[in-house]
Amino acid sequence: MDVVVITERCYHLLILLGVCGVLFCAFAACTTTQGTISPAENRTITDMVGRTVVVPSEIESILCTSPPSTMLVYMIAPGRLAGWNFAPVKEYTPGRYAALPVVGGWFGKETGNYETFISMHPDIIVEGYTTDGGAALASVAERQRKLGPIPVVAVEDSTNTTGYSEPIRFVGELLGEEERAEAMIAFYEGILATVTERVASIPDGERVGVYYAEGPKGLATDPTGSQHAELIELCGGRNVADCALTPGMGMTEVSMEQVIRWDPEVILAAEPDFYATVRADPLWQDITAVKTGRVYLIPRTAFCWFDRPPGINRIIGIPWTAKVLYPDLFTDMDLEGLVREYHDLFIHVSLSDDQIHRILNP
């Protein structure tokens, strides 16, 4: 009888120990999973408007709400971009990137759709059209609310021609592409310093009068104070447009009489159709820029060099604009070499000598 009692007790004890062992292993497994995988999956950052944001440790898929931020991401880490706000020019964009879907966005034109952005399951969404300080914080918070659990990361100064270094550096660090970002910054800051130092010595009364001709007839423009026309004054020109500033997308409509009265010495043409016809158009014949042959078509490769969007795509527009306005001041500038280097570094495409010649001599 004693043996039976001991056996039963041992039996029940063994069962109890076994159950405890299973529970312990299960608990240990859960503890190990949460302790090793969860922290590795996420990290906490501070974005450029001071928000604390939890983002994936490995960011592989990114959408942006506006073209300046989209171009910033593409130029730093093209393989992470999941879609465009509008399509780049395919001739100058590597095929695998040109084929990315166009998802729209919020940049004056309200073409974005929150459901579309959410359905693409990006790791993060970059809000980069924010140059207005406190108002930017409110707009980013509203964007986050509408996008739900997808982290929204704010990038400042993506449209500030003299302030591109910090957003480039921030996105480089965010994506682990610090080396490329620093190379881009060195290229940009070298150009910016050369141009601004040289044009600083030009007296106000000797600065070239420039008209930025937009639209198919050249009768839309952006005056001083518009982010769309920043390169004129940055490169030592005098923006002749004395008209109202249209917020957002810009492009204030003006009359032929106003342009004649302003009588620019240089016309920068945004549209190929206008550029092709302006020199033969009798309405424009008495304007100094037309009479002296100083009408220039703004180059556009993957993206425009001067504007639309006013993002870091304008970096190559700085030396182009400076040399157009003051060719004698920049005779030693190797514009062809800069164009080649810019496209290799920023656009991820190599241009031939013939392509560069055609771009600079339309």
Give which of 206, 244, 205 is closest to 224, Cα–Cα.
244
> How far apart (Å, rounded) are the C-alpha atoms in residues 186 and 5?
85
> How far apart (Å, rounded) are the C-alpha atoms in residues 8 and 208?
104
pLDDT at 34: 25
Residues with Cβ < 8 Å from 56, sequence gap 6 or more? 41, 42, 43, 123, 124, 151
Please report, for residues 46, 59, 76, 112, the alpha-carbon distance to residue 181 in angstroms, rounded to integers and kept in the order given: 18, 16, 6, 28
pLDDT at 37: 30
By CB atoms closer than 10 A (0-12, 13-18, 19+), residue 94 is: middle
> How far apart (Å, rounded) are the C-alpha atoms in residues 151 and 208?
46
pLDDT at 74: 98
- Tell me 309's DSSP state: S
Write down the H helix ranges in the chain.
2-36, 38-41, 67-76, 95-98, 114-119, 134-147, 165-174, 178-199, 230-234, 256-262, 272-278, 288-291, 317-325, 335-342, 353-360
Residue 61: Cβ within 10 Å count: 15
pLDDT at 110: 75
> How far apart (Å, rounded) are the C-alpha atoms in residues 138 and 6?
73
Instruction: Write the single-letter amino acid at 212.
Output: Y
Tokens in use for 242?
């004395």
Residues with Cβ < 8 Å from 307, sequence gap 6 or more? 212, 222, 228, 229, 231, 270, 298, 314, 317
pLDDT at 40: 64
pLDDT at 228: 95
Following DSSP, what letter does each residue of 129-183 receive, concatenated?
Answer: EE-STHHHHHHHHHHHHHHTTS-EEEEE-TT-TT--HHHHHHHHHHTT-HHHHHH
pLDDT at 128: 83
pLDDT at 135: 59
DSSP-assigned beta bridge partners for residue 297:
269
Give pTM, 2 decimals. 0.87
Which mean pLDDT values do the consecutive 10-residue runs of the chain (362 residues) have? 41 43 39 36 95 97 96 98 96 97 86 94 87 64 94 93 97 98 98 98 97 98 96 98 91 98 98 97 97 98 96 98 98 98 98 98 96
Is the CA virtual torsion 142, 143, 148, 151 positive or negative?
Answer: negative
